[in-house]
A and B are shown apart, each in its own frame.
Chain A
Amino acid sequence: MKKTVFLGALTVAGLVGGAAAAATLDDVKARGTLNCGVTTGLVGFAAPDANGVWEGFDVAVCRAVAAAVLGDPTSVEFVPTTGKTRFTALASGEVDMLARNTTWTFSRDTDLKFEFVGVNYYDGQGFMVPKALGVTSAKELDGATVCIQTGTTTELNLADFFRKNNISYEPVPIETNAEGQQQYLAGACDAYTTDASGLAATRAAFENPGDHVILPEIVSKEPLGPLVRHGDNEWGDIVRWTLNALISAEELGVTSANVDEMASAPTNSPEINRLLGTEGNLGEMIGLDADWAKRAIAVGGNYGELFEKNIGENTPIGLARGLNAQWTDGGILYSPPFR
Chain B
Amino acid sequence: MTTMTDPPQASFRLSQLIYDTRYRSYTFQFIALMLLVALMAYLGANLVTNLAEQGQNIAFGFLAEPSGYDINQRPIEYDSQSSHLRASVVGVLNTLIVAFLGCLTATIFGVIAGVLRLSPNWLVRKLMAGYVEAFRNVPVLIWILIIFTIMTAVLPSPSAFRGDNSESSMLFGSFAFTNRGIYAPLPIWEPGSQVVVLTFLASIAGAIYYRRYATKLLYDTGKLLPMGWPSLVILFVPTILIFFVMGRPISLDYPALETFNFQGGMQIRGSLIALWFALAIYTGAFIAENVRAGILAVNRGQTEAAASLGLRPGRIMNLVILPQALRVIIPPVISQYLNLTKNSSLAIAVGYMDVTGTLGGITLNQTGRAIECVLLLMLFYLTISLAISAVMNLYNNSIALKER
Contact = CB atoms under 8 A, between A and B. Distances in A.
B258 interface: yes
A170 B43 contact: no
B322 to A, nearest CB: 42
Interface stretch (B8-16, B127-135, B361-369): B361-369
A154 B361 CA distance: 15
A231 interface: yes
A226 to B, nearest CB: 18
B365 A87 contact: yes
B43 A143 contact: no
Count chain A CB atoms within 10 A of each CB in B70, B270, B357, B367 and give the residue with the most.
Answer: B70
A162 B258 CA distance: 18
Contacts of B149: 182
Chain B interface size, as a band, is 35 or more
A156 interface: yes
B302 interface: no
A186 B260 contact: no
A318 interface: no
A158 interface: yes
A221 B158 CA distance: 33
A170 B258 CA distance: 14
B137 interface: no
Contacts of A50: none
A133 B259 CA distance: 9
Interface string A75-96: 0000000011001100100000
Contact of A144 (B53, B153, B261): B261
Interface string A267-278: 000000000000
Nearest to B153: A186
A12 to B, nearest CB: 11
A151 interface: yes
B230 to A, nearest CB: 47
Contact of B157 (A17, A88, A186): A186
A170 B261 contact: yes
A143 B258 contact: yes
Interface string B16-60: 000000000000000000000001001100100110011110000
A159 B55 contact: no
29 contacts: A18-B46, A18-B49, A84-B364, A111-B368, A112-B368, A132-B159, A133-B159, A143-B263, A144-B261, A145-B180, A145-B260, A150-B362, A151-B361, A151-B366, A155-B68, A156-B366, A162-B70, A169-B70, A170-B72, A171-B72, A172-B351, A173-B361, A182-B149, A186-B153, A186-B179, A187-B157, A189-B180, A190-B260, A190-B261
Interface of B: 39, 42-43, 46, 49-50, 53-56, 68-72, 79-81, 149, 152-153, 156-159, 179-180, 258-261, 263, 270-271, 348-349, 351, 353, 357, 361-362, 364-368, 370
Interface of A: 10, 13-15, 17-18, 21, 83-84, 87-88, 91, 107-108, 111-113, 132-133, 140-145, 150-152, 155-156, 158-160, 162-163, 169-175, 182-183, 186-190, 230-231
